Structure 1
Amino acid sequence: MTLYRQLFTWMLAIFFLLILAVTGIELSTTRNFLLTQQTAEVNNTINSMGLALAPYLEDDDKVATESVINALFDGGFYQEVRLKMLSDGSEIVRQYPVTVEGVPNWYIALDLFPVITEERTFTSGWLQLAEVKVVSHPGYAYREMWRATIQLGIWIGVLFIIAMLVIAIQLSRSLRPLKTITDRAQDIARNKFNSEPIPLPPTTELKTVVKAINQMSNQLEAYFEQQAKEADRLREHAYRDTVSGLGNRSFFVGQLKSWLAESAIGGLVMAKVDLITDTYQNQGFEQGDSLVSQFSKKLNTTISDADFTASRISKDEFVILAPNCSAEDLQVMGESLLSIVTDMQHDPMGISPPKVAIGLAVNSSENRDASQLLAQVDNALTQARNNPNHPISMIDQTANDSSMGKQQWKTLILDAIAHDWFKFKYQPASNSDQSVLHQEVFTAIERGEDYYGAGHFLGAVEQLELGESFDRYVVAHMIERLSDDPKLGPLAINLTQNSVTNASFIRWLTSVMQKHRDLAGRLFFEIPESVFVRYPDHVSLLTEQAHRFNFGFGVDNYGRNFQSLDYLNKFKPSYVKIDFAYTSNLDDEAQSHVLASICRTAHNLNITTIATRVETEAQLNKLSELFVNGFQGFIFEKKLENHG
């Protein structure tokens, strides 16, 4: 029970007891008054009766005596009148029916008024004339008492309602600062510190508490900001080129391994910018660094896809990793880089050849060898130098295979949605105790004997802007399965960038979450980190609705983008899935420090950190020491199969 309810209940109870006591005293006073009044009336009636009957009793006139008795007691509140003539022992008896109109029987049964009986002897001098006995009837007293009870009940009810409203209003006003303190304490417990300071309340005691809460909130916020910045510094030191702001060679190698392990479909763009080399040699390091920074900024503008990553792997060499990218798209990207360098040469006459060589390598899913792919792009770079006026060359491994074009992929994906050719499988993410945190949904297209994994068509989904249709299909089917099977889940569905940045999809997903609130806790949505970084306004629309209906969401490729990790505190995801570049080489001490730092940042915000592709016990044990508390990979699939 809340403090407000406790105080409200006790204050009402005390007020009710006081009112009850006052009511009891008032009713007791009324009863005593009516009882005294009734006794006095009986005495007065007997006295009047003695005066009226005296002459008739002396004359022994029974007829006149009886007439006087009838006149005195007719219509009064008396049960019985008995007169005994002492001269001859005769009696005159009058009895009246006992009825009380307008008073409930249960109230009369309370026996509030005793029957008053008065006996007296009438005399004349020393001569006793008659004996009289009068038994009162309490009907009038009950009627007046019942009327007083009703009036008091009405007033008590009105006063109780007024008191209840006044107490509720005053308590709410008095405890409003306490409620604010409680809400802020709950925010702090959830590691939410970006609220405005609590205004100081008028109550002296609460002022001290509010000051302490505000100070603690500020200190914790500063601590987490400092920790996030420290993680950013470590990450940048290990994986970021300080001059260009792009990833360094270590970062590129990690991303390359991750891509080759996942799908290996796409390509590489490598540019060797001789203009930068000449600038370093002829104008010095300051001008060379300035040119590198300028080129890197323009390079980033050519990267439109959230999955593309650019790195600087040497003084004048840059590489772009482009998953799920076609040969035509790579060629367009190469032409863009050529234009950037041409513009930077400041040769309005266009006489000098471009001081750059660009090699393009398109990879197929069969080639998962990093050294072979790098050798191919180096060969393409060498071939590009043979054509100084247009130094771009491509080596396409998929040129002689049966890979499909964009329109063929579009037709296949739309047909798969229309004819339910999609197949789903689930990969569990578990903690170290093998308890399943959730199961990630993997999608594939199966048409006859042809099988296409997600790595084959997800790039086409993004490029062809089919993400909204595809994600609607997957979400609808998973909701149907969760509704049919209460034991299934929780499930995590990957959302495409195209969907998360689409207002129509956000509205649709909001209505779905509102309609299926019972599935909250059994359904998660996984969003790439690059979308959080590049499109924070779009993501906030979706995450606000997810928080509103208690649906969880996660961050995919956590740590891939060289941006501050402060977005974690803003969006409050349920979990983050660590980018494979941070877990690919756990024997590297520097990499382990960076991994521990970025995981600690999430861990201290009560966000679950999940590592993917965990294959061995050694990996599991090492990751457990680095603030990783969720694992996804072959080792847990095997354990769950053995356990089953």
Structure 2
Amino acid sequence: MTLYRQLLLWMLVVLFLLTSAVFAIQFNTTKSYLIEQQSTELNNVVSSVGFALSPYLKEKDFIAAESVINATFDSGYYSQVKLTLLDSEKEIIRHYPHIIKNVPNWFTSLIHIEAITQTRTLTSGWLQLANLTVTSSPASAYVQLWKATTQLVLGFLACLLLTAIVLSLVLNKVLKPLKQIQKSAQEMARNHFTASLPIPHTRELVDVVTAFNSMNIQLQQHFEQQAQEADTLRIRAYQDPVSSLANRSYLMTKLNSWLVNKPSGGIILLKSDAIEDNYQQGGYELGDPLVLKLADRLKELSADDITIARLNQSEFMLIAQNVPKDDLLDIGRTMLYMTSELNSDPLGIAPLQAAVGIVMCSETLTITALLAHADNALNKARQQIKEPLALLEISEQKTIPAIGKQQWNALVDEAIANNLIHFTFQKAIDANNTIIHKEMFAYIKKGQQRFNAGQFLSALEKLNDGAKFDRYIIETIFHKFTKKTKSVPVAINITQSSINDTGFIRWLNTKLLSCPQMRQHILFELPEICFIKNIDNTSLLCEIIRQNGFQFGIDNYGHNFSSTGYLNKLRPSYVKLDFAYTSQLDDQVKTDVLESITRSANNLSVLTIASRVETIEQKQKLTLLKVQGFQGYVTAQLVDGK
């Protein structure tokens, strides 16, 4: 029970006890008064009747005496009248009915008022004439006592109700600072820090609120410092300090993980002679500003499946997973255009001081061979006078079909119309091998051909048409799980184009409102790039998901080298760490970065999940680094293999 309710309840109990005591005193006083009044009236009427009867009794006029008795006692206040003549033993007796109107029987049986009897001898001088005995009727006393009781009860109940309302308002106002402290403490327990509380007027609470505000600020600064520390360690280990792009170490890690998993797409190597010349002529003072300017432009190309890194002073590499040849050529030309902006050439007649080499990836390539092919493509590009751009296709590379964006789009439309989209699921487990959720992966199966989502989603994203695919997936999964009472939650990936589609956001809000029973079965997974490039739309979508009681997570966390401060604002349920942070666990610097990142997330009660965990040994190492969830081949060993 809350303090407010306890105080109000006890105050009302004390008030009720006081009111009951006053009621009992007032009730007994009224009862005693009515009894006393009954006795007084009886005494007065006996005296007056005695004086009236004495002359008639002296003259032996019994008819007149009987008339006086009938006239005097015919009022309902008396139950019996008895006149006994002393000289003849003659009696005159009158009985009156005992009727109590408008008084409940339980009241008369509970409250006892006795009838009063008085006897008086009537005389004439020294001569005794008769004895007059009168017995009162308590009916009138009961009626008056019942009226007084109802008035007292109604009055006291009204006072209790009015006092309860006043007390509730007063207590609510007095305890408002405590409620604010309670609410802020609940937020603090979830590591969500609010603004400082206003200082109350209550002297005892001033010190409490002041101390609480100070503790709130200190904890908030502590978490911010931890987040800054994680960002700093991450920058030192994986980020180029000048361009803020990924460094060579991070690039090698991404290339390694990409080549191991049947790669599709390609790499683009950009060489800027203008940057190299400026470094040679003026050192860092001239070279660094050009690098920073070009890097800011290259960041515009960033996406969830694209990694951009700086290899050395003047070379930049872009990894484009699942991107077809035509799109790679377009990206390469865009990079050339961005580099041309570094040239001081208002007439546009100077030769372009840059070259771009593109290599389509193959399953048989190693990192060394891939980089060697990139250098060859770059040298070939320098020989192109009109456009210094060259594309090198490895003969073994056959994984990407020669399908354009519109063809991919048509294939997706056909798959949606004919239910050609199928699903596979990969479990995420915790340290105790308990399943956290299953991530859903979609693919299209047409005849004997199978197309994974990575092959066609990039085309849908470029056409800003991913919302139709996401709608179909959500409808299908919701329909599938409405038939199940118990199931492991399923994580559904949302495309970047859907997040930027206000129509999709409205549709999803309506869908979630109509299916509250799915809250325990469905999770939504958003790519980290959306929190960097489209924070407003992403925040709106996250708020809609949260308001409807659903949960969401962040995929490829840490991929884009941006500050992780959005975690504290948006509070996802979990984050899936980018593979680059969890792959090289023998490097102490990189494990320090991973531990710092996971600690920052864990302090905000955000679950950290490592993807592509292949071995039990790797899982054990990640557990020591405070990683709480694991997804990859290890789940098949530990869960499916049981």
TM-score exceeds 0.5: yes
8 Å contact from structure 1 (residues 228, 566) kept in 2 = yes
State the match for 2:639 in structure 1: 640
Which residue is equivalent to 1:28?
A: 28
Partner of 2:333: 335
The change in CA–CA distance for 1:260 and 1:527 in structure 2 (over 3 A counts) is: farther
SS at match of 2:110: coil
Name the structure 2 match of 1:463: 462
Which residue of 2 is the match for residue 512 of structure 1? 511
User: Quick one: distance in 1 between partners of 2:494 and 2:3?
Assistant: 43
Alignment of 1:136-215 (within 5 A): 136-193=136-193, 195-215=194-214
Do the aligned partners of residues 23 and 105 (structure 1) sit closer, same or farther apart at CA in structure 2, a change above 3 Å counting?
A: same
Task: Tell me the distance in 1 between the aligned counterparts of 2:6 and 2:105.
Answer: 39
1:141 CA drift (Å): 1.1
Aligned residue for 1:596? 595
Measure, in 1, the Cα distance between the counterparts of 2:341 and 2:55. 144
Task: Give distance in 2, aligned partners of 1:367 and 1:569.
Answer: 43
Q: Deviations over 1:35-84 (max 9, x none)?
A: 11111111111111211111222333322221111111112311111222
Output aligned runs, 1:33-182, within 5 Å.
Answer: 33-182=33-182
**Cα deviation, residue 304, structure 1:** 5.5
1:457: how far off? 2.0
TM-score by length of structure 2 reads 0.95
- Compute the RMSD of aligned alpha carbons: 2.0
Are the aligned partners of 2:556 and 2:577 in contact in 1 as well (CA < 8 Å)? yes
Indicate if the aligned counterparts of 1:354 and 1:388 stay in contact, CA closer than 8 A.
Answer: no
Equivalent in the alignment of 1:292: 291
Is contact 1:276–1:291 with CA below 8 Å preserved after alignment?
A: yes
Q: Which residues in structure 2 correspond to 1:396-545 (within 5 Å)?
A: 396-397=393-394, 402-545=401-544
Q: 2:379 aligns with which of 364, 371, 382?
A: 382
Relative to structure 1, is the Cα distance of residues 392 and 521 closer, same or farther in structure 2, using a 3 angstrom cutoff? same
What is the Cα deviation at residue 629 of structure 1? 0.7
Q: State the Cα distance separating 1:388 from its structure 2 match.
A: 4.2
176-185 or 273-282, which deviates more: 273-282
Whole-angstrom distance in 2 between the partners of 1:283 and 1:264:
41
CA distance in 2, matches of 1:424, 1:625: 33
In structure 2, the residue corresponding to 1:638 is in which secondary structure? helix
Distance 1:399 1:311 in 2: 26
Paired with 1:183 and 1:36, the residues of 2 have a C-alpha distance of 61
Task: Give distance in 2, aligned partners of 1:304 and 1:437.
Answer: 30
- Residue 322 of structure 1 is matched in structure 2 by 320
Residue 111 and residue 230 in structure 1: after superposition, are their counterparts in 2 closer, same or farther (change >3 A)? closer
Question: Which of 361, 370, 379 in structure 2 is aligned with 1:373?
Answer: 370
- Between the aligned partners of 1:312 and 1:271, the Cα distance in structure 2 is 9
Q: How does 1:242-321 map to 2 (within 5 A)?
A: 242-261=241-260, 264-301=263-300, 303=301, 305-321=303-319
Q: For residue 580 of structure 1, what is the aligned residue in structure 2?
A: 579
Contact 1:264 1:368 in 2 (8 A): no
1:395 maps to which of 392, 396, 399: 392
- SS of 1:344's partner is coil
In structure 2, what residue type is equivalent to 1:503? Answer: T
Q: Which runs of 5+ in 2 are unaligned?
A: none
| CA distance 1:477–1:399, change in 2 (3 Å) | closer
Q: How far off its partner does 1:260 sit?
A: 3.9
C-alpha separation in 2, matches of 1:475 and 1:462: 18
Greater mean alpha carbon deviation, residues 531-540 or residues 418-427:
418-427
User: Which structure 1 residue ranges, 5 or more long, are not aligned?
Assistant: none
Q: Which amino acid aligns with 2:460?
A: V
Taking the aligned partners of 1:72 and 1:310, their CA distance within structure 2 comes to 118
Whole-angstrom CA distance in 1 between matches of 2:567 and 2:466: 25
- Asked if 2 retains the 8 angstrom alpha-carbon contact of 1:262 and 1:455, the reply is no
Secondary structure (helix, strand or coil) at the match of 1:628 reads: coil
SS state at 1:473 partner: helix
Letter in 2 for 1:380: A
One-letter code aligned to 1:94: R
SS in 1 for 2:192: coil
Write the letter of the residue equivalent to 2:360.
V
SS at match of 2:352: coil
Moved more, 577-586 or 115-124: 115-124
Contact kept? 2:358, 2:392, Cα under 8 Å: yes
* Aligned 8 A contact 1:496 1:527 in 2: yes
| Counterpart AA for 2:40 | A
In structure 2, the CA distance between the partners of 1:250 and 1:637, relative to structure 1 (3 Å rule), is same
**Equivalent pair of 1:323/1:459 in contact (CA under 8 Å):** no
Q: How far, CA to CA, are the matches of 1:147 and 1:353 in structure 2?
A: 111
Matched, 1:629 2:628: yes
Percent identity for Structure 1 against Structure 2 = 43
Task: Note if contact 1:324-1:460 (Cα within 8 Å) is conserved in structure 2.
Answer: no
Q: Which shows bigger deviation, 521-530 or 581-590?
A: 521-530
Tell me what 1:355 maps to: 353
> Judging changes above 3 Å, is the alpha-carbon distance between structure 1 residues 281 and 593 closer, same or farther for their aligned structure 2 residues?
same
Structure 1 window deviating more from structure 2 (346-355 vs 423-432): it is: 346-355
Amino acid at match of 1:377: A
SS of 2:207's equivalent in the other structure is helix
Secondary structure of residue in 1 paired with 2:4: helix
Q: Which amino acid aligns with 1:621?
A: Q
Q: Tell me the secondary structure at the aligned position of residue 427 of structure 1.
A: strand
Q: Return the letter of the residue paired with 2:313.
A: K
Amino acid at match of 1:379: N
Task: Give aligned pairs, total.
Answer: 640
